[in-house]
Amino acid sequence: MNMAQTLNNMTSGATNDNMMTLDNATNQLETCFLPHNAEWVFNYQPIYMWFIFILGFIENLFVILVFILHKSRCTVAEIYLGNMAAADLIFVSGLPFWAIYISNKFYWPFGGFMCVAVNSLIQLNLYSSIYFLMMVSIDRYLALVKTMSFGRMRRPFYAKITCAIIWIFALGVCVPKVVFRKVEFIPDLNTTSCIIVPPSNSWHIVTNIIVNVIGFLIPLTVISFCTFKIINALKNNTMQQFKETNNEKKATWLVLSVLLIFVLCWLPFHVFTFLDTLDLLKVFESCPASLAIEIGNQISSYIAYSNSCINPLLYVMVGNHFRKKAKEVYWQILTRIKSPQNGAMPMNYSAVTTRTSISMGQQKLIIRQ
C-alpha cells in the first residue's frame, strides 16, 4: 500500500549508516507530509475500501460460482478469467483489515502474522491478475491467429497447469514485499504500525523496479503484441464464413474489453510507482513534488482497486456467453429446489446442456483443487 510505504520511508529507523534516522524521518513528516494533508486519507480511503470490498466480494464470488456450478465444461479463457476472479476475491478480502488500519491512523491491532498475511494477499493480486490476463490474450491469439498451428495447446489441462505456475510465481515475486513486514512501535508517532523494515536504503527502489518491470511492462508487451494480431484477425473478412471462428470472435470482444479496462485502471498506478522511484533517487528535490507524487499514488491506487469490481460487470454487460451461463445456473439451482416437490423440470432447463464450439475439457478451475 502506498500510504503505508510513505510511513515506512519516514519511520523505518536507522539499520545502517546510510539509512534515514528517525529524527530526520520525523522532520520530513512535519515538513513534507503535514497532518492536515493526511486527513483526507483517514476520512475517505477506508470508506472507499469498504465499498470495494463489499462490491468486489459479491461480484467475484458470483463469477466463480457460475463457472463452477454450470454443467458445461469451462473454456480455456474461462479458466483464466475464473482464476483472475479468485485473485480479485483474495485481494478484496484483505481490504477490511487495511481500512481499519487507516481509520486508526496507522495503528495495527491484528498482530504480526496478519500484518504479513494481509499484505501478501494484496501483493499476490498485483502480479497474478495481469499474468492471467496475459494468458487470456495468448489464448485468443492462438484461437484467431494461429488456429491450426497450436490447437492442441488450447486445452483446459494445460490452462490449469499454467494457472498453478502463475500462482506459485506470484507468491515468489511478492516475497520481497512481505518478508520485511513487521509490527513495530513508533515512539515519535506514538503508534504501533505494520511497516516494512528494509535491509537497505535502496530496497524500495529495487522493489519499485520489480513492480514496474515484472508486474506490468513484461506482460503488457505480450498483451500488446497479441492484441494487435487479434484486432487484425477480427478485421479479416475472409474468416466470416467460418461459424466456429465467429464464435471465437464473440468471446474475444469480451477479452479485449477486460484487457482495455485493466490497462486503464493499472497504468496510472505504475506511472506513479515509476515517479516514486525517481523521487527516491532524488530526481525531484522538493517537498511539493514528493507530496504530489504521494497524492497521485493514493488516487491511482483507488483506480487500480476498482478493477476488481469492474471485471464482473464486464462479464455481464459484454459477455453474452457468461450471461447465458448465469441464467442456466439459476434454472439449475431452481430445478434442484423444486424437484423434491413435483419432480418436474422447467422447459427452459433444457438449455443447460448447451455448449459452445470453444468449450473443452472438464469443468474444474484451479481454484477448486
Specify the pLDDT at position 41. Answer: 72
| Contact predicate 154/141, CB 8 Å | no
Specify the pLDDT at position 166. Answer: 97
Which residues does residue 193 pair with via DSSP β-bridges, in sequence order? 184
pLDDT tens readout for residues 115-169: 999 999 888 998 999 999 999 999 888 888 876 666 667 788 899 999 999 999 9
pLDDT band for position 353 (50/70/90)?
A: very low
Task: Quote the Cα angle for 121-272-94, to 5°.
Answer: 15
pLDDT tens readout for residues 260-274: 899 999 999 999 999
The answer to whether residue 20 scores a pLDDT higher than 60 is no
Specify the pLDDT at position 363. Answer: 36
The C-alpha cell of 203 is what? 530496497
- Per DSSP, the chain holds a count of helices (H) and strands (E) of 12, 2
Single-letter amino acid code for the residue at 199:
P
The answer to whether residue 298 scores a pLDDT higher than 70 is yes
Single-letter amino acid code for the residue at 239:
M
Q: 43, 42, 62: which is closest to 308 by C-alpha? A: 62
Which region among 41-55, 197-211, 332-346 has the lowest average model confidence (pLDDT)?
A: 332-346
CA-to-CA separations, 159 to 76, 83, 86, 259, 308, in angstroms, rounded: 6, 10, 15, 18, 22
Three-state SS for 123-150 is HHHHHHHHHHHHHHHHHHHHHHCCCCCC
| Contact predicate 321/251, CB 8 Å | yes
Question: Do strands 181-186 and 191-196 pair parallel, antiparallel, or not at all (unpaired)?
Answer: antiparallel
Q: Count Cβ atoms below 10 Å from residue 24 Cβ, excluding itself.
A: 12
Residue where the block lists cell 497504468: 267
The answer to whether residue 51 scores a pLDDT higher than 90 is yes
pTM (whole model) above 0.85: no
Cα–Cα distance, 118 to 29 (Å, whole number): 26
The C-alpha cell of 208 is what? 519499485
Specify the pLDDT at position 274. Answer: 95
Give the start-to-end residue ranges of the domains of the chain: 2-368
Specify the pLDDT at position 356. Answer: 36
Of 74 and 357, the structure prediction assigns the larger pLDDT to 74
pLDDT tens readout for residues 205-249: 999 999 999 999 999 999 999 988 888 887 775 555 454 555 566
Q: By three-state DSSP, how is residue 192 classified? A: strand
The answer to whether residue 259 scores a pLDDT higher than 60 is yes
Q: 11, 142, 19: which is closest to 76 by C-alpha? A: 142
- Which CATH superfamily, name and number, covers 2-368? Rhodopsin 7-helix transmembrane proteins (1.20.1070.10)
DSSP 21: P
Q: 55, 48, 117, 56: which is closest to 86 by C-alpha? A: 56
> What average pLDDT does the structure give for the chain?
78
Helix intervals (H) in 19-155: 22-32, 35-69, 76-93, 95-103, 111-144
Specify the pLDDT at position 248. Answer: 62
Cα–Cα distance, 94 to 14 (Å, whole number): 30
Note the Cα 251 to chain centre separation in Å. Answer: 21
218 CB-contact burial (10 Å; exposed 0-12 / middle 13-18 / buried 19+)? middle
pLDDT band for position 14 (50/70/90)?
A: very low
Specify the pLDDT at position 84. Answer: 93
Backbone angles phi, psi at 276, to 5 degrees: -65, -40
Cα–Cα distance, 249 to 229 (Å, whole number): 13
Which region among 19-33, 47-61, 106-120 has the lowest average model confidence (pLDDT)?
A: 19-33
27-39 mean pLDDT: 52
The answer to whether residue 2 scores a pLDDT higher than 80 is no
Q: By three-state DSSP, how is residue 182 classified? A: strand
Q: Quick one: the chain helix, strand, coil %, rounded to 5?
A: 75, 5, 20
